[in-house]
Amino acid sequence: MKKIIALLLAVALMACFAGCGKSDAKSDKTDLEYIKEKGKLVVGITDFAPMDYKDGDKWIGFDADMATKFAEKIGCEVEFVEIEWDNKVFELNGKSIDCVWNGMTLNDEVKAAMATSNAYCNNAQVVVVKADVAQDYQTAEACKKLKFAVESGSAGKDMAEENGFEFIEVKDQATALMEVASGTSDAAIIDSLMAAAMVGEGTGYEQLTYTVALNSEEYGVGFRKGSDAVAELNKFFDECKADGTLEKIAETYKVQAALIK
């Protein structure tokens, strides 16, 4: 009887180890294989024209259109998920999203936390103020008198801290612009590409303008640390440069001058 019980226990343990082996094998999939298997590329974004913004119920923009084409290239659908920018690494590592594709500045913090693509766009952080006072704020030193609104966890916040500006944090750059337009804040720090599209004559914020550039930077896309999807994306970028797709989409959103050739 004891021999039978021992044999049954041994069989049970073997089954357990076999099951664990299957689980381990499954977890050995690469990140790109994981994305392809579920058939969906989940892209973390914020409301950020001209890179990612809504036209009705559809997300469009330079980054949104490129992400859609990349998803098609790897045989997946695309899904856009609005995230709190400050939580982007948490969302990525928790697999709520597969990548961050939203005019993301390639700084040291981002590169340490994610696998990042080659840079594809040049950018800068610029000061946005009401047009009727713009002549008074043409230098960073002059801007120290102002109260700023900045996106939480953004390069704009970094510039506010670096320059010793007084600031409040808001959920995204669009909200930062609203703060200035309403007079709740004196100024905002946002991406130059967004400023070019969103403020000044012919835009929704005609009473605003941008003045001093506080830095220069580059945009990239972020995947989970160690992801092989980065190599696939870099290859895709190269193909899109070669066949003119990158330039064509950039022209649609008037960001072609910022492309890294």
pLDDT score at 80: 98
The token pair at 21 is: 């082996």
CB atoms within 10 A of CB 82: 15
* Cβ–Cβ under 8 Å, residues 68 and 231: no
The pLDDT of residue 261 is: 82
Helix (H) or strand (E) holding 102: strand 99-105
Q: Are 44 and 87 within 8 A, CB to CB?
A: no
pLDDT at res. 182: 97
What's residue 27's pLDDT?
61
**Amino acid 17: pLDDT:** 39
What does the pLDDT read at residue 28? 84
CA distance 51 to 41: 17
**Domains by residue range for the chain, with CATH:** 31-122+218-258 (3.40.190.10), 125-215 (3.40.190.10)
Q: Give the number of other CB atoms < 10 A from CB of residue 230.
A: 22
For residue 158, give Cα distances in angstroms to 108, 143, 152, 163, 215. Answer: 12, 15, 10, 9, 10
Provide the pLDDT for residue 8.
42
Cα–Cα distances (Å) from 90 to 34, 44, 64, 115, 230, in that order, read: 18, 11, 21, 14, 18
CB 203 within 8 A of CB 220: no
The 10 Å Cβ neighbour count of residue 220 is 25
Low-confidence ranges of the chain (pLDDT < 50): 1-25
pLDDT confidence of residue 87: 95
Query: What are the helix (H) ranges across the chain?
Result: 2-27, 31-38, 62-73, 88-93, 108-113, 155-162, 173-182, 192-198, 229-243, 245-252
Give the pLDDT confidence score for residue 52 in this predicted structure.
97
Q: Is the dihedral of CA 241, 89, 45, 170 positive or negative?
A: negative
Q: What is the pTM of this model?
A: 0.83
